A and B are shown apart, each in its own frame.
Chain A
Amino acid sequence: MQLKKLTVAAALVAGAATAGEIAPGDVVFTEDGAIEISLSGAPGVAANAPEIMDKGAGNCIACHQITALSDIPFHGEVGPSLDGAGSRWTEAELRGLVANAKMTFEGSVMPSFFKVDGFNRPGDAYTGNAAQEPLEPLLTAQQIEDVVAFLLMQKDQ
């Protein structure tokens, strides 16, 4: 299901980003949906990832099983296990997957965590009310780097 077409990072009005940080509208994806450079301009901190992937903004565990976080209850079955993700994918590919999995897997049910436009009836978080524009991405640039660093450590046994 890899996307064939070249993906263009249409630079819409980019929100204000801190120095070295890439705004969601400025992200450049490779043909296969990878992102070559750090979104925050800084390295990821893997130790921050478990909280993000649990009930934090990522809630990855809702859909994915992952042995490294087995102390957290109730891992979902909607997506594949993330065990060994660091052996299957490069850092750039993982960054692309977490930022916008639809660039790698066309039509994926996995939410795009670094995307702020193109949604149908976006809401104000989980209130059911209309969103306050402009939208914030689900994860910050640094949170994505943190999760990517953690996923890279998940090697095949």
Chain B
Amino acid sequence: MTRRSGSKALTWMAVSAVAFSAPALADENASLVVNGEIEMVTETDAPAHLEGVLGDKIRSGWTFRARETQALQLDDFDNPGMIFVDQAAEQWDTVEGSEGKSCASCHDDVETAMAGVRATYPKWNDQAEEVRTLVMQINDCRENQMGAEPLKYTDGKMTAMEALISVQSRGMPVDVAIDGPAQSTWEQGKELYYTRFGQLDLSCANCHEDNFDNMIRADHLSQGQVNGFPVYRLKNTKLNNSHARFKGCIRDTRAETFSPGSDEFVALELYVASRGNGLSVEAPSVRN
């Protein structure tokens, strides 16, 4: 993970410049194998709860991107998102807060402790009696275990930590639970997904269900899956959390958005994640 060199970082910048000027079509039959060893499932059978609304198959956002953008995810050397993952790995061992603890004080080695965690989030927390996103859980540890200040929902340090934890599940199938105590939150998320917002009067489904694979202006619409989040965007050169993306999409309908971390976006994240059950955890993926 820490095998990054300065010259490699320059390589992706050159590649991204090409991606901006001449968007080549996505290679939909390409397969994504990261570092020559982690095989990603980028297309698979749609989960039963979708009842066929996306057809037979669900697809990772990676399959919709231009070849040049796709290529940046093949190797951690080329993936600019990994810089932030490396930073979070240092953060993992850094003591913060009144209790004199770091993440490592409780969880030891991130690779073993966090393997498989991302795949099941957002997830019901029995004690708190709420559905928690990874960000909420990280902040809970900060406040209640470390005695540290909670981070803002989309703070760069937070998104990097989310990415570090997600990386430990790379290649594992997304498997969020939608039944039991999580069900009512899931239903709320589903309702939001189909609600039209803003003066353009568009729902998530209008773009990502009715029109995936179509171009909207210069954008190739994907199914709006979150299996790749946090996502490194060439557009803003940083890692982006899924709630920041939701906010951007709702803003683009000329609507008043919800806030990252709001009950609405927590429910929406659970619902959208469940639409991708079976796709691989891919974070940090790279998008334009």
Residues in A lying within 8 Å of B, measured CB to CB: 59, 61-63, 73-78, 109, 111-112, 119-131, 135, 138
Given A74-B217, A120-B195, 9 other A-B residues pairs in contact with their CB atoms under 8 A: A74-B215, A78-B221, A112-B201, A119-B197, A120-B197, A122-B198, A122-B254, A124-B256, A129-B256
- Interchain residue pairs with CB less than 8 A apart (25): A62-B216, A63-B216, A74-B215, A74-B218, A76-B215, A76-B216, A77-B216, A78-B216, A78-B221, A109-B202, A109-B211, A111-B200, A111-B201, A112-B201, A120-B197, A121-B197, A121-B256, A122-B254, A122-B256, A123-B198, A123-B251, A128-B247, A128-B251, A128-B255, A128-B256
Most buried by A among B196, B197, B200, B250: B200
Query: When the two chains form their complex, are residues B196 and A120 in contact, meaning their CB atoms are under 8 A apart?
Result: yes
Contacts of A123 in B (CB 8 A): 198-199, 251, 253-257
Contacts of B109 in A (CB 8 A): none
Minimum C-beta distance from B217 to chain A (A): 4
State A93–B218 Cα separation when bound (angstroms): 29
Contacts of A122 in B (CB 8 A): 198-199, 254-256
State A82–B260 Cα separation when bound (angstroms): 38
State A27–B175 Cα separation when bound (angstroms): 50
Minimum C-beta distance from B267 to chain A (A): 16
- In the complex, residue of chain B having the shortest beta-carbon distance to the beta carbon of A125: B254
State A120–B204 Cα separation when bound (angstroms): 14
Contacts of A128 in B (CB 8 A): 247, 250-251, 255-257
Interface size on B, residues (CB 8 A): 26
Minimum C-beta distance from B153 to chain A (A): 15
Contacts of A126 in B (CB 8 A): 251-252, 254
Contacts of B255 in A (CB 8 A): 119-123, 128
Contacts of A125 in B (CB 8 A): 254
State A125–B255 Cα separation when bound (angstroms): 8
State A128–B256 Cα separation when bound (angstroms): 5
B214 interfacial contact with A, CB 8 Å: yes
- In the complex, residue of chain A having the shortest beta-carbon distance to the beta carbon of B23: A74
Q: Which of B199-225 contact A (CB under 8 A)?
A: 199-202, 206, 210-211, 214-218, 221
- In the complex, residue of chain A having the shortest beta-carbon distance to the beta carbon of B257: A128
Residues in B lying within 8 Å of A, measured CB to CB: 195-202, 206, 210-211, 214-218, 221, 247, 250-257
Contacts of A135 in B (CB 8 A): 199
Query: When the two chains form their complex, are residues A76 and B217 in contact, meaning their CB atoms are under 8 A apart?
Result: yes
Query: When the two chains form their complex, are residues A62 and B217 in contact, meaning their CB atoms are under 8 A apart?
Result: yes
Contacts of A124 in B (CB 8 A): 256
Most buried by A among B206, B250, B256: B256
Minimum C-beta distance from A98 to chain B (A): 14
Contacts of A73 in B (CB 8 A): 218
Contacts of A62 in B (CB 8 A): 216-217
Given A74-B217, A123-B256, A128-B257: A109 and B198 interface contact (C-beta under 8 Å): no
Query: When the two chains form their complex, are residues B214 and A78 in contact, meaning their CB atoms are under 8 A apart?
Result: yes
State A73–B22 Cα separation when bound (angstroms): 12
Minimum C-beta distance from A135 to chain B (A): 7
Minimum C-beta distance from A107 to chain B (A): 10
State A8–B252 Cα separation when bound (angstroms): 30
State A73–B219 Cα separation when bound (angstroms): 12
- In the complex, residue of chain B having the shortest beta-carbon distance to the beta carbon of A61: B217
State A129–B251 Cα separation when bound (angstroms): 8
Contacts of B202 in A (CB 8 A): 109, 111
